[in-house]
Structure 1
Amino acid sequence: MIDFLRGPVVHLENEYVVLDVQGIGYRVFCPNPFVFAKSEGPVTIYIHHHVREDAILLFGFPTREEQQLFRKLIEVSGIGPRVALGILTGGSPDSLVTAIYQENITFLTKLPGIGKKTAQRMILDLKDKLDGFGAAAFATGLFAVPVVEEGDGSSWSEAREGLKALGYTDTELDKVWLKLKKDISPDDSVDVMMKRALQMLFAG
């Protein structure tokens, strides 16, 4: 089984990257392929090698923690690799782990492909199996699940998608949202939110 691949990214799509490993192009499906666009040289992608009767698929992640969390997710009844990938696309690992610890059904059911019953199964099956995932962040409260206030959720959701398309990760955007939500107005447009978020990202 393939554990990781290393090489330059030679092609990007919305759902996958193509990695050149010694002259062989590997198509790797990722939660956010554009995160790898920032690097001009070789990148390391941690792989889940999925084999089924009609296909062999590679799912890839920028960290080993995400790789392991993906594998935990697909152990839950009703969650296959595609749904697990959508879950990691819709929320950062820290936010996801925190939501499971807090039994936050509302947050989990907003993730792609997750209904109430599947969210309940995620909590039941995973709550006691995630001690090694984001434990420090959960304990300190640094990555509390973002609460979207009425009136600003739509604009931030659109701004977030735009920022993700620029290559920013869910973790980076969650950190920005924790600061940004204190100063925004319900009347702020998507452009205004993106500009403010970019200022924060550039400032570090």
Structure 2
Amino acid sequence: MKNRDFDKLLAEVRACTLCADKLPLGPRPVFQMAPGSRILVAGQAPGKKVHETGIPFNDPSGDRLRDWMGVSREQFYDPELMAILPMGFCYPGTGTGGDLPPRPECAATWRERLLAQLPDIRLTLVIGQYAHAWHLRGRQGKTLTETVRNWREFMGEGIIPLPHPSPRNIRWLKQNPWFEEEVLPAVKDKVHEAMG
């Protein structure tokens, strides 16, 4: 795909209003990518702060994720290094237990087309259960913990499943110390290898 076609596709996604009537703050697709992106960060959906700023992972979750990856803000927001494509590009609103799930229309309409434009991806970080379900295609465990615990199974494909880095998951992180001890060193190594 030529750059003009790539830019046209991105403009289409940025102008998307598919779910406008279901989004409490209206549509504002938040993502980043370039034809040469090397790492794909596949998240859930933007939170309210991200919706307001229009910058992906521009919140405490992003601070923790960058720490997990061992990268600076500058590296993280360089689209030549990182494609950041959540399962839903717009803020879905809040429910009783936190933000609502990503709108399903988004992935169904855009995901395959956008991923097809990323031929140089060397590593995919799959964050949270909705991204696990889409990217692991039925190979995920019965729980998020089981999926993340089995991270080595996906390494050969250049995929690492992760929990969401949200402050709401502090308890999960404390209950699963193996994540910090075993998974995060591998994440940092693979991220730096993929950026090289």
User: What TM-score do you get using the length of structure 2 for normalisation?
Assistant: 0.26
Structure 1 or 2: more strand by fraction: 1
Q: Which has the higher contact order (CA 8 A, sep 6+)?
A: 2
* Higher-Rg member (1/2): 1
